[in-house]
Amino acid sequence: MKKISLALTAAALFVACGNDAKNIHTLEASDFAAVLQEQSMPLVDVRTAEEYAEGHLPGAINVDVKQPDFSNRATQAIKESGNQDSPVAVYCLRGSRSMKAATLLAKEGKEVYNLAGGITAWKEAGMPVEK
């Protein structure tokens, strides 16, 4: 009985999140870099300002996903980037916060590219970071 209940709960969550999930693409560092190079899109670092100052992907804008007004601030930053109709790329330290951000942005109709493993994986792949 517990297995059936768990399966039904998982199915309900999948259906509820299904439309948003199809707009989220989680990519490894090399594929993420390729997408950034091929497409002009806003790149959002969703970590804290302190983490951002320690090093970030070139061209990234910082909007902390832990802030209660993240969606509004992210939407404004995307608009100011001049690419408000394009997909959005997001990352954090290891990928958890950026998935939260991706989910919030996808709920607003954005197509989102999420960096698997965050900036940690990016650095391990030998990709550039700026301060």
Instruction: Based on the residue annotation, tell me whether 92 is a catalytic residue of this protein.
Output: yes
* pLDDT value, residue 12: 37
The predicted pLDDT at position 7 comes to 39
Q: Which of the following is catalytic: 92, 104, 106, 121?
A: 92
**Structural domains in the chain, sorted by start:** 23-124 (3.40.250.10)
- Residue 91 CB partners (closer than 8 Å, separation 6+): 32, 43, 44, 45, 46, 57, 60, 98, 114, 115, 118, 119, 122
Which pLDDT score is estimated for 90? 98
- pTM metric for this prediction: 0.83
Q: Please, which pLDDT band fits residue 22 given cuts at 50, 70 and 90?
A: confident
